[in-house]
Chain A
Amino acid sequence: MDFAYILEALPDLMTGLKTTLIVSFLAIFLSCLIGLVGAVLRKSGIKPLQYAVTAYVEFIRGTPYLVQIFFIFYGLPSLGLRFSIFWSGVIALTAWASAFQIENFRAGLAAVGSGMHDASASLGLKRWQHSIFIILPLATRAALPSAMNTIVATVKNSAYLQAIGLVELTFVAVDRIAYDFRAIEMFASICVIYLICVFTISGLGYMVERRLSRPFGGR
């Protein structure tokens, strides 16, 4: 193990890490938003919309993520939709993560008991007040553990985007290996970096979970 070499490669790796984090955060933000909307649509009672959301979730979960990326990056331009590598990556990662977030939030919504509805009706809350002040906080809390899992998986799956040439952490490492043949050093460093990212996000998620379960006498 040549630590001097790792130190020399570190600025490059950090540039890659920056792209990894930017793409991941965009995808996490968008997928949580889409997940929430999708879960609400799935409960909306409008049959065609429900079927569409279910079909989307099943299709994304039933097909390889790598093929989805290739379809979005290479396939969509011939249909008239041309995106840069960066935005193709964001779209592919968002499309993948959204399917899982829809499922997570759907389970979260299902966990809120129907007694809440009667309770807020008896307190004279309007429908929108009920949805935003009662259901949303409770459903978010119930969905959080599995949503955190998907968020961590989103960061990990940003590594797949090296296949379309997005210059993120894994791409930088593989690119340097092609020139310098220092495979052990490069993979050791990116493994450590990914582990740090994953542990940090899991830790943050755990803190948020504890904060949110405070009103319920949680630890």
Chain B
Amino acid sequence: MLLLEFQSFLLDGLLNTLFLSSVMIAGGTFFAVIFAAGLSAQSGWLRRPVYALVECLRDIPLMVTVLMVYFVLPHAGLSFNPFWSSALSVSVWGGANGAHIIRAGLLSVPSGQREAALSSGLRGWKGLFLVIVPQAMPVILPPYVSLVTSLTQASSLGAVLGVNELLRSAQILIEQTTIARGGSPAYLVYGSILVVYFALCWSISALGAKLERHFAKPYQRTNGKTGLARPTVVLQISTT
């Protein structure tokens, strides 16, 4: 069978996909935190440009952003190879979407909590990470997990620039076998990598659900009496 014959070739592609999506998830989180900080800035001179940038990134097709970073940045003297170029563009896009998730999550924590943290002597970063963030997590996580699966799926955009990830490997395999043996195995190869991507995203969702349960614990041991009221904010993440 064709797939088994070229399994090491496809496995290389899968490994590259895993590496690329990890970079995109890490980069996306990095930009999300920065943009979220910018969006919550006191000074309008900082907040408004960040807001405009985030809105533009969310409204321009991801495909255009990926191509734009690849073609336009070299004009500014910044040349990246296809791998880092696609990693950068998808990270920035993920950051723009993640920023709104993080900001809404932090805003969902009642202001009394912030004040309580201050009065207990937990100032600045300490109050943020020990008091606010753990309570924001149940709101942040569900949309954030779906953003992470979107980022994993977006790693296939690397194929457009020629990064050797799973989709590109599949393309090469199909081209070569069509030339060498005649008859295109496209439906078989693309069908199989669809299944691989599905398994990948499914595992991420499962992991995310586990994490969600962990952070939801304090809200579950209620008997309707002692537990904390669970914050609810409905968030909508742009779908790609």
Chain A residues close to B by CB (< 8 Å): 59, 62-68, 70-71, 74-79, 100, 145-146, 149-150, 152-153, 156-160, 162-163, 170, 174, 177, 183-184, 187, 190-191, 194-195, 198-199
Q: Is there an interface contact between B160 and A183, defined as CB atoms closer than 8 Å?
A: no
> Within the assembled complex, what's the spacing in Å between the Cα atoms of A183 and B63?
15
Of the candidates B160, B167, B186, the one whose C-beta lies within 8 Å of that of A75 is B186
Q: Is the interface of A mostly helix, strand, loop or mixed?
A: helix
11 examples of A-B residue contacts, CB within 8 angstroms = A62-B202, A66-B159, A70-B186, A78-B185, A78-B186, A79-B187, A153-B240, A183-B71, A183-B75, A187-B71, A195-B56
Q: Is the interface of B mostly helix, strand, loop or mixed?
A: helix
Of the candidates B67, B156, B202, the one whose C-beta lies within 8 Å of that of A174 is B67
Of the candidates A62, A146, A160, A163, the one whose C-beta lies within 8 Å of that of B198 is A62
Partner-binding segment picked from B26-34, B188-196, B210-218: B188-196
Task: Closest A residue to B187 by CB, please name it.
Answer: A75
A166 to chain B, nearest CB (A): 12
> Within the assembled complex, what's the spacing in Å between the Cα atoms of A191 and B56?
9
Q: Is there an interface contact between A156 and B190, defined as CB atoms closer than 8 Å?
A: no
> Given A62-B198, A75-B186, are A149 and B236 neighbors across the interface (CB < 8 Å)?
yes
Interface positions, chain B 169-192, Cβ under 8 Å from A, are: 170-171, 174, 183-188, 190-191
Of the candidates A66, A156, A174, the one whose C-beta lies within 8 Å of that of B61 is A156
Of the candidates A74, A77, A159, A177, the one whose C-beta lies within 8 Å of that of B64 is A159
Chain B residues close to A by CB (< 8 Å): 56, 59-64, 67-68, 71-72, 75, 149, 153-157, 159-160, 167, 170-171, 174, 183-188, 190-191, 193-194, 197-198, 201-202, 205, 236, 238-240
> Within the assembled complex, what's the spacing in Å between the Cα atoms of A63 and B185?
20
Of the candidates A76, A149, A159, the one whose C-beta lies within 8 Å of that of B63 is A159
Of the candidates A70, A183, A198, the one whose C-beta lies within 8 Å of that of B167 is A70
Q: Is there an interface contact between B64 and A170, defined as CB atoms closer than 8 Å?
A: yes
> Within the assembled complex, what's the spacing in Å between the Cα atoms of A187 and B73?
11
Q: Which residues of A contact B154 (CB under 8 A)?
A: 64
Of the candidates A100, A150, A170, the one whose C-beta lies within 8 Å of that of B67 is A170
Q: Is there an interface contact between B64 and A184, defined as CB atoms closer than 8 Å?
A: no
Q: Is there an interface contact between B194 and A68, defined as CB atoms closer than 8 Å?
A: yes
> Within the assembled complex, what's the spacing in Å between the Cα atoms of A62 and B236?
18
The 7 closest A-B pairs by CB, nearest first: A75-B187, A159-B61, A64-B153, A64-B156, A74-B186, A183-B71, A71-B190
